[in-house]
Structure 1
Amino acid sequence: MLLERGTSGPPVLLLHSLGLDKHMWTPIVDRLAVGRRVFAYDLRGHGEAAAAPQPFTLRDLARDLFAVLDELSLETAHVVGLSYGGAIAQTAAIEDPGRFASLALLATTDRAFPDVFEQRAAAAEAGGMAAQLDESLSRWFTSEALAADTPGVRYARDCLLAMDPASWARAWRSMKELDAQGKLAHFPAPVLVVAGGADASGPTALLRGIADGIPSARFRELPGVPHMQTLERADEVAAVLDEFLPRD
């Protein structure tokens, strides 16, 4: 179930976005694995974990992160979360900051938007996943990528169509529990916050606010980069993470 690259070096654990799976990281994982051991896994309700126990809360997903670390015999890891993965990573960092060697938050939020999240959950229950394609993909990618129907767009479309609407709904409802704003002010490990300048879901001001709430955090904005950073501008995302994460 794990995606693994690298044979030595500091361990890095990657958490994917809602609606996708661990292969969201494929465009950058080989570069990150130079001098590092890199792992990615499928979150509950996604990919090979589609049949994992449900319903679930955001704290359940945070504890899954700790269970993965335990399974890998890792006391700590450098944790990278994008969007939903960033929400899970923050929740876990609040619960047990000692398991983190560092934290990188990409295109995420530190607070819930309950009405928006409930609308997305209910829409899938009512209309199925095919009806979520246009709205979701337009939030995730630039118009140029959509028009070109790039491999990243095709991958995301396939993931959405394969997802159980009930799992999509449960994931969005778990996001309604997110409450990380101001709670990582004393987080002891290095933090990187990365915004995409063309991100309709996670605008720069929101990501900058997250960084401002963590005095030790570094903030980077990647101009022209949309929400699904690794699927459209992999080289830039890999470069900023490669600079931040230690290696052998």
Structure 2
Amino acid sequence: MTVTSLADARMRGLATWMSLDTGFPRQLDTTTVVDDQPQLHRVRLADHDTVVAQRGDSGPAVLLVHALGLDWQMWEPVMDSLAVGRRVFAYDVRGHGMAAGSPSPYTMADTARDLIGVLDAIGVERAHVVGLSFGGGIAQTAAVAAPERFASLALLATTDVPFDAFEGRASSGETDGMAAQVAPSLTRWFTANALAVNGESVQYARERVLGGNSTDWAAAWRAFKGLDVRGRLAGLGLPTLVLAGEHDVSTTPEIMRGIAARIPGSQFRVLPGTPHMQTLEQPGLVAAALAEFLR
């Protein structure tokens, strides 16, 4: 994955938005990983359109839910390896990527309904759902609402309770603009070394934040303020992986360990040398941990 390929993918997506497939499931060209780009499909949800990326066409379904301020492409570094023997899907959460400008304000319950709507659109009754940060909050909310749609749950760098900082981030987007969100976001998301090198993943994240709009940004943080799942996953009986980053300064290993303690039978792991944005800085470690869990 390179910044050029990410930019090219975005341009191709914009150019072909109206011609994307709307039907699922779609037969792909191979039984696992296809071509050099995921297959993109346009999906209509209750009140907006989004895009769903797909790798693989056979095996158990895995649905990936991205972090606030980014889009489905943050999963590209791990999709190839996860798609061996599986169907892997990633979609743009409302207010992000191809779903930018969707109706707002909205709630975590709305994002949960969107997740279930994506499963319906791709013809999947039960999926292994993986969520990172905001995506983890969405996944937990959907699991509480519709546990029968989940084969398992993987929670990466997330929380089960809102942070006081969420409203400040929303307000800053509205008053200071998106350029002012780059430094505080990237320093939460990456290690100092990654920022100094300024590699492809850091550049991608910077471009996504700068390319966002303040209305969508504020709406997402205010939805996240309404997260209400603490203690509510305990009785669901879902196989659950809680994956922390050793150097995550946002959702620290201590926070993640607390989530695992509130989900009986869950697996807890700390990825060495890993910050908040796990898939963008340590994709190999994330892919290996998810593959082991999904087996």
Deviation of 1:51 after TM superposition, in Å, equals 2.6
Tell me by how many angstroms 1:150 deviates: 1.0
> Could you report, residue by residue, the CA deviation over 1:138-188 in whole angstroms, capped at 9, with x for unpaired residues?
000000000000111000000001101110001000011111111111122
What displacement does 1:53 show? 2.0
| Aligned position for 2:137 | 87
Question: Which residue number corresponds to residue 182 of structure 2?
Answer: 133
**Match for residue 228 of structure 2?**
179
Listed as ranges, the matches of 1:91-102 within 5 Å are 91-102=141-152
Deviations for 1:210-247, whole angstroms, at most 9, x for unmatched residues? 0010111000001210000000001000000010113x
Q: Runs ≥4 in structure 1, deviation > 2 angstroms? A: none
Under a length normalisation based on structure 1, what TM-score does the superposition of the two structures give? 0.97
CA distance in 2, matches of 1:200, 1:240: 21
Residue 38 (structure 1) shift? 0.2
Structure 1 residue 2, shift from structure 2 partner: 1.1
Secondary structure of the 1:104 match is strand
Query: What TM-score comes out, normalization by structure 2 length?
Result: 0.82
The CA distance in 1 between the partners of 2:137 and 2:52, in whole Å, is: 20
Q: What is the 5 A alignment of 1:221-236?
A: 221-236=270-285
The Cα shift of 1:55 comes to: 1.7
Name the residue aligned to 2:291: 242
Q: After TM superposition, give the deviation of residue 189 of structure 1 in Å.
A: 1.9
Paired residues for 1:7-86 under 5 Å: 7-86=57-136
1:4 aligns with 2:54: yes
Q: Which residue of 1 aligns with 2:239?
A: 190
Larger RCO: Structure 1 or Structure 2 (Cα < 8 Å, ≥ 6 residues apart)? Answer: 1
Name the residue aligned to 2:162.
112
Deviation per CA, 1:54-105: give whole Å up to 9, x if none. Answer: 2211100000000000111111100000000000000011111111000000
Identity value in percent: 58
- Give, as a single letter, the amino acid of the residue that structure 2 aligns with 1:191: T
Q: Report the 3-state secondary structure (helix = DSSP H, G, I; strand = E; otherwise coil) of the residue aligned with 1:186.
A: coil
Q: Is the 8 A contact 2:101 2:216 kept in 1?
A: no
**1:191, 1:9 → 2: CA distance?**
20
Let me know the Cα RMSD of the aligned residues. 0.7
How many matched pairs?
A: 245
Q: Which amino acid aligns with 1:200?
A: V
Cα separation, 1, equivalents of 2:146 and 2:74: 26
Task: Give the SS at the match of 2:265.
Answer: coil
Whole-Å Cα distance in 2 between the matches of residues 220 and 30 of structure 1?
22
Tell me, which stretches of 5 or more residues in structure 1 are unaligned? none
Q: In structure 1, how many angstroms separate the alpha carbons of the residues matched to 2:226 and 2:105?
A: 13
Counterpart Cα distance in 1 of 2:62 and 2:112: 16
Q: How does 1:133-172 map to 2 (within 5 A)?
A: 133-172=182-221
SS of 2:228's equivalent?
coil
Q: Secondary structure at the match of 2:139?
A: helix
Gaps of 5+ in 2: 1-50
Q: Rg larger in 1 or in 2? A: 2
Question: Matched residues in 2 for 1:153 and 1:20: separation?
Answer: 12
Q: Match of 1:243, as an amino acid?
A: E
CA distance in 2, matches of 1:186, 1:68: 25
